[in-house]
Amino acid sequence: MSKKRTNRTAAVLMLCAVMLVGAACGKSNPAGSTDSGKAGGKNAEWAEKVGLNKTETVDELYEKAKQEGKVVVYSQSSRIKDVKASFEAKYPGIKVDAYNMTTNDIVEKVIREQGAGVFNSDVIFVKDAAGTVSTELTSKGLVHKYMPKDLTDKMVEPYKSKSPGIVPYVSLRAFYYNTEVYKEPPVSNWWDLTTPEWKGKVILEDPIQSADTMDLFLAVVKNADDMKQAYKEKFGKEIELNGTENAGYEFFKRVLKNDPILVKSSDEAVDAVGAKGQAKPPIAISASSKQRDIAEKGLKVAATYDIKPKLSVVGPNYLYVANNAPNPNAAKLMIRWMAGEADGKGEGFKPFNVMGSWSTRSDNGRTDQPALDKIKVWDYDTDYFYNNFIKFREFWLKNQ
């Protein structure tokens, strides 16, 4: 077995283990984490006891947080290092221990730690990762929402009152192309990626390693009717399935036959597309927020959002308080900071308020990019993603 396939197989086993570990934790209920699989129980009592249902002033929280002395953050974004710097400058006496990990690693770490009765983290900053956060963490009380009213009052629906946790911003996947060669986007339909023109020249983040890419690909197979219509618009005829169950799976079967380049990160994808001096540059599907690096790196690359049938799936970024967090007041203060504070001007939100990210608030969003409601996107379907991600992984590996 090749090293490439071995690494992918190991990744599958690790991610599938998240579900198994979560199930085991739900049964074991270690000390301090009882009733984690229930809506109530000691976890809910703890959340109420530390005031996660309250809206306190920053001054009140800071006085309490200084007594705690630190806050531990598990973050799915490397930009947490910038948040650490601004938070420690704003709130002297509170140290930030920030750990940058993938969402999948965070989920597994939280489940294993709390399953062993270890409560190390305070703030959990994640995406849903094929519904694993909603299913394995929030619904079992391993993390709790903290949504102070003076922040949520500024948010738009569904993030104002219908969210399982506070969402400071959402992000998408975008299609990237080289602007040195192409003066306008060279693709406009997902099915373009299956044509001979783009054989060996499509860069994808491997969904086995990227939770965001997995979410997007699951949205494609769920919305197979959209993909069927897009095929007809592209080729002028009805699609014929070749042993697949719908047009979504058929798309990925054909893409994989077209020799895509699989990479591990958004940086790797966008850098490869935007490198100068290429005669036949590739295109890529990658994180929309990577546009923040284009000028600094001197890349010749741009993103397009105009793709049929739809561009992407909306990816909310959630902030939670970990169950039995040792520093709950510092956790609340940090979440407020990262969500922009009551006036929307908190420095903690600035690292995330970049091109390719969309604030959920009405008072601090960017005006130099298309409004989110003007971009055609699929909804995030937690239940479908959670119930189908193993099936899709098996399909993906089988057809590589």
Residues 342 and 194 in one domain: no
Residues 160 and 55 in one domain: yes
Residue 376 within a domain: no
Residues 57 and 129 in one domain: yes
291 in Cβ contact with 299 (< 8 Å)? no
Residues 92 and 223 in one domain: no
pLDDT of 104 reads 87
pLDDT of 41 reads 73
Residues 180 and 254 in one domain: yes
Q: Token digits for 6?
A: 């071995």
Residue 124: strand, helix, or coil: strand
Residues 64 and 122 in one domain: yes
DSSP labels for 18-36? HHHHHHHHHHH--TT-TTT
Residue 381 within a domain: no
For the stretch 353-388, pLDDT in tens is 999 999 999 999 999 999 999 999 999 999 999 999
Residue 375 within a domain: no
Residue 298 within a domain: yes
Residues 284 and 334 in one domain: no
Residues 145 and 238 in one domain: no
When divided into structural domains, the chain yields a total of 2
150 in Cβ contact with 53 (< 8 Å)? no
75 in Cβ contact with 100 (< 8 Å)? yes
The CATH number given to whatever domain includes residue 294 is 3.40.190.10
Residue 26 within a domain: yes
Q: How far apart are CA 352 and CA 184, in angstroms?
A: 27
pLDDT of 233 reads 98
> Which residues, 6 or more positions from 218, have their beta carbon under 8 angstroms from its beta carbon?
130, 313, 384, 385, 388, 389, 392
- H or E element at residue 65: helix 58-68
Residues 160 and 32 in one domain: yes
Phi, psi of 323 (to 5 degrees): -60, 140
pLDDT of 42 reads 82
Could you list the residue range(s) of the whole structural domain that residue 358 is in? 3-171+314-369
Residues 155 and 14 in one domain: yes
Residues 150 and 81 in one domain: yes
Number of Cβ within a 10 Å radius of residue 48: 12
Residue 387 within a domain: no
Sign of the C-alpha dihedral computed for residues 159, 164, 169 and 173 taken in this order: negative
Residue 92 within a domain: yes
Long-range pairs for 155-158: beta carbons < 8 A, 24 or more residues apart: 155/360, 155/361, 155/362, 156/360, 156/361, 156/362
Positions of the chain with pLDDT lower than 50, given as ranges: 1-14, 18-39
125 in Cβ contact with 76 (< 8 Å)? yes
DSSP code, position 260: P
pLDDT of 15 reads 52
270 in Cβ contact with 301 (< 8 Å)? yes
Residue 185 within a domain: yes
Residues 80 and 181 in one domain: no
For the stretch 294-304, pLDDT in tens is 998 999 999 99
pLDDT of 13 reads 44
261 in Cβ contact with 282 (< 8 Å)? yes
For the stretch 122-137, pLDDT in tens is 999 999 999 999 999 9
